[in-house]
Structure formats: C-alpha cells, structure tokens
Structure 1
Amino acid sequence: MADPVAERARLLDDLATSYRLFAALRWGELGDGHITCRDTERSDHMWLLRYRVPFEQAQSSDMVLVAPDGSATDQDGRPARINNTAYHIHHPIHEVRPDVTAAAHVHTAWGTPFAAERRMIEPITQESTLFFEDHALFDDEEVQILSCDGGKRIAVALGEYRAVILANHGLLTVGSSPADAIGWFVLME
C-alpha cells in the first residue's frame, strides 16, 4: 500500500504545477479559474489554491484543504480563505463522481467565447474527436456561484463525461489526477 503522506505530497505538487501551467498559458490571470483535487485519505475533502495566490506563484504549500461544508484549513490546520466559487462549482462534482480526482475550470480566449455559442464540440479535428460523445453542454442558466445549487446542476449535466461546456461561461474538465484534468482541458481549449 502506498504511503498516504507521500501520495498527498505528490498530489499537492501536481496540483501546484497545474496552476502554474495555467499561468504559463496566461489563463486565470484575473483569478477567474480553479483546479481542485480530492484528498488521498478523506475522499469527501478536496484541495484548492489558497485565496489570492497568483497561479504563477502556486506551490504545494499554498494548497488548502476544503471540507464538505466549505470550511478550509491550511496544511497546519489553521483556518484559510478560498475562492468560494471553486467550492460551489467543484464540491458537488466531487461529491457525485467518486471516480473524479481532479476538476479544472478557467476562462480562456477560445473556450469562453465558444461556450457562448451554446453548442457541442463537433468531431472535425483530431483533437476534437477525443470529446466525441464524451462531453456535455450545461445550458441551464448563467452559472450560479453564490451557492452549491448551480454546481449541483453542473454535476448533473456533466454526468459520466470528462468535460462540460458551461454556456456563456467556459469549459470544465475532470480526470483521475490533476495532470489528467489539465490535459483534457488543454486539448478541449
């Protein structure tokens, strides 16, 4: 059996690297995105970048643990601030999809305007075929970020797929690791 402490350290390092990759692509410069990953031991908890840490500066020590009720603590157990929108959107997904370790969402130059077209990706390029019959369209209403209600509706729309287009908002992908979720996101963009 793997060492849970070492496994968590690897996961947090991967999560921090994912944020820095988004920054290198110039995504999330306005704090308009989030990447989460499920804790290795407490599967109802997720890790998230501490509030107001720029993506390009993300380190594993900047990740905070978010409980099912939305409360967050740093790695020393002290209360921490988070981007509540990330909790409201990602927690319901992690809650209903035990197979999902990580979820990623950020506003991008192409994905956000494409989402405003309120349509699915057509399998017309090599990259787009990866999402053939493996993505959904959330066209419910504007993404509600003040509670988990919108996140629950997004989770229903996502279903068993690896990605969902959030109408007028952007893209969201999930995966078995931060690298997996980020890889799908980059390909979808």
Structure 2
Amino acid sequence: MHESVREQVSAEEWAQRVALAAAYRLVALHGWDDLIFTHLSARVPGPDHHFLINPYGMTFEEVTASSLVKVDLQGHKVMPSAYDINPAGFTIHSAIHAAREDANCVFHVHSLNGVAVSAQEGGVLPISQQSIFVLASLGYHDYEGVALRDDEKPRLVADLGKNQFLMLRNHGLLTVGSNVANAFQGLYTFERTCDIQVRAQAGGGKLVGIDAAIVSTAIQQAREVTRGAGGSLAWPALLRRLDRIDDSYKL
C-alpha cells in the first residue's frame, strides 16, 4: 500500500507526509498523545487547499507517511483511505488552515499538564525561561464543548490571531508553524512550560516571576538561540532518534 501512495503523490507531498508521520511518532514518544483523540495536521504543498491528518482509529505510534488521510477544507477525502478523520480535529484544523496562510502545520494535544494549566485562571505564568517564548505569542480560547460546530471557527481563529500558541481553556494546547519542525518545536516548548509550571506550583513555595521587559524580547532571543533556523535546528537530531527506535514512520 505504501508504495502506491508514494507513487500517486508529488515528491513534495511525500516529504511532508514523512515529516508529519515523524511528528506523530515523536508526540507518542513524549507521552503527549491521548489514545486516538488528538491530531496534528500539515498543508499539502501545492495550489490545492488540501491537508494531511491522522487516520481516526490509529494510535500515534502507528501512523505512517502512507496512512495519513488527505482531505480538503470541507472535510472530504481526496485520496482513498480505509479510515475516516476525527470530526473535531477537522473543525479546529480546517478553520486555522483556511484563515492563516502561514500556518502550514497545526498541532493540537490534550496532555495532562497542558490541560491542567489551561484550567488555571492565570493561564501561563512567566516563571521559566521556556514560558517567555510562549508568552510572547500566546492566545486563549474559552471552552465551548467538543469542537464540532462550524460557528465556533471564527472565534477560534480570532483568539489565535497572529500568534504561534493557543491555549484551549479546559481542553489543551495548540501550536502553528510554517513547517513540521517549527510546529513541533513550538509544541515541545509549550509542553515544557506547562510541565514546569505544574511542578513549581506543587512545590508550595512562592514563585519568582520574570520581568515583562524580558518577555517582550523573547522572540528575538529565540532567533539568536536557534541561529534563525527555528525548529529545523533540532529536527534532524529528532529524526535520528526516531530512526534508532523505529523508522517505520517513513513507510
């Protein structure tokens, strides 16, 4: 099956499929998956408004380049697949892909500490180096139930705005990126921010905050740390790690 899919798509689409499948495996490796109920998506390179998303029913550790489902912005499959897609995933991801040309990738998870912080009134606190990068580009979206209604889309898009990070209240975390590497790097930073916050709060002591002036320079600091490469600086090493464990995501 994987050979026939590869033969049917462009080289650019196949590369995007491999990268997105790798991201699914990495999310599983870090324990951020929620059985089959969250989703990562990537726009298919080219003029058509198509994107790739996980087959509904596969765990993240099972996802491969060939098994990803290609759909249009109306949720219709544009290539045959034995699997459907998560309707809530389609609502969230299609809204952002349609509204943000720069959002080639949209990653959304229900991680334990991410949901825990999303339920806190104060949201993300400026208490760690990781948090300043999130706070420099963060929106919040209030919970409206499982994301199944089209009328929620404009509010979701408005709350994201031009930001890279969106905290879905009582629900989880979302990041956008120009490519898979950047979206994953953003998700990693968002997750670490929430992990650190929950642990710091559990310690019971008074927390030391970071000055707002430092937060305001976070984006420039991030560019310097990654030499302007963003998530692409770490991405090859992450792929090497995956390959040592299981390289079947490439199939």
Q: 2-side partners of 1:120 and 1:44: how far apart?
A: 34
Equivalent position of 2:188 in the other structure: 186
Which 4+ stretches in 1 moved above 6 angstroms?
none
Per-residue CA shift, 1:98-153, capped at 9, x if unaligned?
A: 011100111112100100114342332111111233101112x3344222322332
**Structure 1 or 2: more helix by fraction:** 2
Equivalent position of 2:98 in the other structure: 95
Cα RMSD (Å) of the superposition? Answer: 1.8
Equivalent position of 1:54 in the other structure: 59
Equivalent position of 2:17 in the other structure: 12
DSSP 3-state at the match of 1:71: coil
DSSP 3-state at the match of 2:95: helix
Q: 1-side partners of 2:134 and 2:16: how far apart?
A: 26
After TM superposition, the score normalised by the length of structure 1 is 0.89
Q: 2-side partners of 1:43 and 1:133: how far apart?
A: 32
For residue 117 of structure 2, what is the amino acid of its counterpart?
F
Per-residue CA shift, 1:3-31, capped at 9, x if unaligned?
A: x8221111110100011111111222422
Q: 1-side partners of 2:73 and 2:119: how far apart?
A: 31
After TM superposition, the score normalised by the length of structure 2 is 0.68
| 1:97-176 equivalence runs, <5 A | 97-139=100-142, 141-176=143-178
* Number of residue equivalences: 183
1:67 is matched with which residue: 60, 63, 72?
72
Greater C-alpha Rg: 2
For residue 169 of structure 1, what is the amino acid of its counterpart?
H
For residue 47 of structure 1, what is the amino acid of its counterpart?
L
| 1:17-56 equivalence runs, <5 A | 17-56=22-61
Per-residue CA shift, 1:33-77, capped at 9, x if unaligned?
A: 100011101452211011111100110001111111111144xx4
Q: Which runs of 5+ in 2 are unaligned?
A: 1-8, 192-251
**Structure 1 or 2: more strand by fraction:** 1
